[in-house]
Chains A and B, each alone.
Chain A
Amino acid sequence: MEIEATAEKLSKALNNVSRIATSKVTLPVLNNVLIKIKDKQVSLITTNLDMAIVDFLPVSNSKDGVITVPAKLLAEFVSNLPKDEKVKISSSGTKITVTAGKYSSTINGSPADDFPELPEIDEKSAVIFKIGTEEFKNGVGQVIIASSNDFNRPALTGVHFYTSDKSLFIVATDGYRLAKRKLVKNVQSEIKITIPSTSLQEVLRSITDDIEEIEISFNDDLIRFRLGELEIISKIIDAEYPNPEDFLPKTSEINLVVDRTDLIRVVKLASLFARHTTNDVITCEAKSPDTFSVHSIANEYGENDSSINTKTDKDGKISVTSRYLLDALNVISTPKISINFNDKSKNLSVIESALVLKEPNSEDYIHILMPVDDN
Chain B
Amino acid sequence: MYNAWENALAEIEQKISSSNFSTWFQDTSLISTDDGHIIIGVKNSFFVKQLRSKFLDVIEESLKNTGIEVQDIDFKIETKSKSKVRPREITSTPTPIKNKLPSMNSLKSPKNQKTGLNSKYTIDNFVVGSNNDLALAAAKSIINNPGTSYNPFFLYGGSGLGKTHLVQAIGNEILKNHPDFKILYTPISDFYADFVDSVMKGKGKDFNNKFRSLDVLIIDDFQLIVNKEKSQEEFFNIFNNLHQLDKQIIVTSDRLPSEIKTVDERMANRLTWAGAFDLQLPKFEDKCAILRSKADLLGAEIEDEAIEYIAENVNTNIRDLEGELNTILLMSDVRGLTPLELINNGSVNVSHQTKLRPTTAKRIVDKVAKYYNLTTTELKSKSRVAHIKNSRQVAMFLLKSELSMSTPKIAAEVGVKDHSTVIHGIKKIEQDLKLNFILRDQIAEIKEKIYD
Contact = CB atoms under 8 A, between A and B. Distances in A.
Chain B associates with chain A: yes
Nearest to B301: A24
Interface residues on B, range: 35 or more
A52 B77 CA distance: 17
A277 B86 CA distance: 30
Interface stretch (B19-27, B204-212, B377-385, B417-425): B19-27
Interface string B47-87: 11110011000000000000000000000011111111111
B296 interface: yes
Contact of B20 (A27, A50, A176, A324): A27
B293 interface: no
Contacts of B99: 150, 152
A246 interface: yes
Contacts, number: 115
B244 interface: no
Given A238-B79, A373-B92, A351 B87 contact: yes
Contacts of B89: 175
Contacts of B46: 47, 49-50, 52, 116, 118-119, 235
A350 interface: yes
A148 to B, nearest CB: 7
A129 to B, nearest CB: 20
B203 to A, nearest CB: 47
A148 B89 CA distance: 15
B230 interface: no
B23 to A, nearest CB: 4
A151 B100 contact: yes
B92 A279 contact: no
Query: Interface SS of chain A: helix, strand, loop or mixed?
Result: loop
A256 to B, nearest CB: 23
Contacts of B78: 238
A201 interface: no
A154 B19 CA distance: 25
B94 A370 contact: yes
A118 B46 CA distance: 6
Interface string A152-165: 11111000000000
A176 to B, nearest CB: 5
Contact of A116 (B43, B49, B296): B49
Contacts of A174: 96
Interface string A319-340: 0010010000000000000000
25 contacts: A27-B19, A27-B23, A49-B47, A116-B49, A117-B49, A117-B53, A148-B96, A150-B96, A152-B83, A154-B79, A175-B91, A235-B44, A235-B77, A237-B79, A238-B77, A238-B78, A239-B79, A240-B85, A242-B86, A246-B87, A280-B94, A321-B94, A350-B91, A372-B93, A373-B93
Interface of B: 19-20, 22-23, 43-50, 53-54, 77-87, 89-100, 296, 299, 301
